[in-house]
Structure 1
Amino acid sequence: MAVCDASYRFTFIEVGAGGREGDTNAFTHSKLGKAVLSDSLEFPGNELLNGISTPYFMVGNDVFPLISRLMKPYGSRKRDVPERIFNHRLNRARRCIDNAFGILCAKWMAVQRTQLSNPDTAQKVVAACCSLHNFVLRTSPADQYLPKDLDAHTLTHTKYIRDNIKKYVNSSSASLQNEAAEV
C-alpha cells in the first residue's frame, strides 16, 4: 500500500500484504487504511470550494470505500457528462501512484520481477527501493531519472462533498478533456 505526491515521491508505503490479498483488504488492514477509515490521520484544515467547507482527501480507484478523506470515481452505471469528466480528471490524479510504481520498476531491477527471496527480505528490498527512488528524485535533475514521456503533473455527506468537488474540478473544463471523458 503506498501514497505518493504529484512529483511521484512516495509519502507513505507499507509493504507486507500478499499480492492475492487485493487492494481493499490490504487497505483495510494497513496502518494507513485504519487511520483514514477512523479519520485519525492528520490532514490540513478544510478549504472552501464553491463556498462549501471541503476536506483534504486522497484519491483512490473504484475498489476503495467512498469516505470524506478518500475520493473515488463515480460508478460505471449511466454517468452524465459532468460525472464522466470528473472521473477522467480524478483518474488522472490517481495515475500519479501508478506512474510512481512504473518509474520505480523501470529504474530498479530488484522490483522488476517476482522476488526470489523470502517474504521478509522482499519487503525490505521493496522498502529500500522506494527510499532510493525518493532520494534520487530529490537529488537528481528530473530529466535524468524520470521517463521523457511522463506527464509531470457520512456516505450521503461524502457523496455531497464529491459532487461539490466535481463541480469545482469541472468548472473550467477544457474541450479536450470533455472529449476524453466521453470515451
Structure 2
Amino acid sequence: MAVVNANYEFIYVDVGANGLSNGDVWANSDLSRRLEEETAGLPDDQMLGNQRTLPYVLVGDDAFPLRRHLMKPYPFQNQDDEQRIFSYRISRAHRIVENAFGNMVDKFKILHNAMQVEPSKMEKIVLAYTVLHNYLFRNNEASYSPVGSLDKENLDGTITASSWRNSQQLLSLDRLTNTTDEAENIRKEFTRYFCHEGAIPWQHPMCGMEGNCLSY
C-alpha cells in the first residue's frame, strides 16, 4: 500500500502485508491510525469554494473505507448525476496513483514476478525501488519517464493511455463498504463543489451527460 503525490512520487509506503485482506492492511497501517488520531501532519481544514470548509483528503478506490480524510467513489450502481461527476473526478486523481505504480513496475522488470527471497529482504528491495523511482522522477524525468510513459489527459478530457498499460494490468481489489456519517457528509460536500463552482468544462460529456449537474 502506498500514498502518491501529484508529482507521481511515493510519499508513504507500507510493504510486507502478504496474506491480509485489503481492509486489514489499511486498518493495521500506521497511516490509518495517524489519520484517525489526527496526527498525520495534514493541514487544517480549509475553505473550498464559497460555502464549505472541508478537510484535506487522500483519494482511494473501492479497496479502502470512506473516512474523514479518505475519499472514494460512490458505488457504481444507480449513481445519480452528481455522484457520477464525483466518481469521475476521483478517478482522474486516482489515475496519478495508477501511473506511479505502472511506470515503476514497467521500468524495474523484477517487480513483474514473485521474488524468490526472504520476506524481510523483499520489503527492503521494494522500498529501495520506490526511493529510486522518486529520485529518477525528480532528477532525470525526461529519460526515466519519456513522453508516452504516463497517461496524458487531453484538453477535451479524453485520455491517451500510457505505454505501460499495454504490457501489464493492475489487479482489481476487494471492495470495502464501511463508512461513517461524517465521511458521507464530507463526500456530499465535495460532490456539490465539483458540480458547481469547482466544475470543469468537459466533465459532463465524459460522464455521458448533457447540461449541468442537479441543483442543490
How far apart in 2 are the matches of 1:147 and 1:61?
A: 27
Q: What runs of 5+ residues in structure 1 fail to find an aligned partner?
A: none
- Deviation of 1:30 (Å): 1.2
Correspondence for 2:58: 58
Residue deviations 1:52-99 (CA, integer Å, cap 9, x gap): 110001011123111110011112231111111110110111121111
Evaluate the alpha carbon distance shift between residue 22 and residue 98 of structure 1 in structure 2; reply closer, same or farther with a 3 A threshold: farther
Who is 2:176 aligned against?
Answer: none
Identity of aligned residues (%): 31
Write the distance in 2 (CA, Å) between the matches of 1:166 and 1:22. 29
Once the two structures are superposed, the pairs formed by residues 18-167 of structure 1 within 5 Å of their partners are 18=18, 20-50=19-49, 51-140=51-140, 142-149=141-148, 150-151=150-151, 155-167=180-192
CA deviation digits over 1:19-42, x for unaligned, max 9? x42322111111112212333211
Distance 1:152 1:36, change over 3 A: farther
Q: Which aligned segments of 4 or more residues in structure 1 are displaced greater than 6 angstroms?
A: none
Contact 1:7 1:152 in 2 (8 A): no
Give a deviation string over 1:127-149, Cα, whole Å, max 9, x none: 00000000111111x23212523
Going by fraction, where is helix more abundant, 1 or 2? Answer: 1
Check the 8 A contact 2:13/2:127 in 1, yes or no.
yes
Q: Separation in 2 of the partners of 1:99 and 1:167? A: 28
Question: In 2, Cα distance between the equivalents of 1:38 and 1:62?
Answer: 23
Q: Deviations over 1:77-125 (max 9, x none)?
A: 3111111111011011112111111111011123221111111111111
Q: Deviation of residue 164 (structure 1)? A: 1.2
Amino acid at match of 2:138: R
Secondary structure of the equivalent of 2:200? coil
* Stretch deviating more after TM superposition (105-114 or 150-159): 150-159
TM-score between both structures, scaled by the size of structure 1? 0.89
Gapped regions of structure 2 (runs ≥ 5): 154-178, 210-216
Aligned length: 180
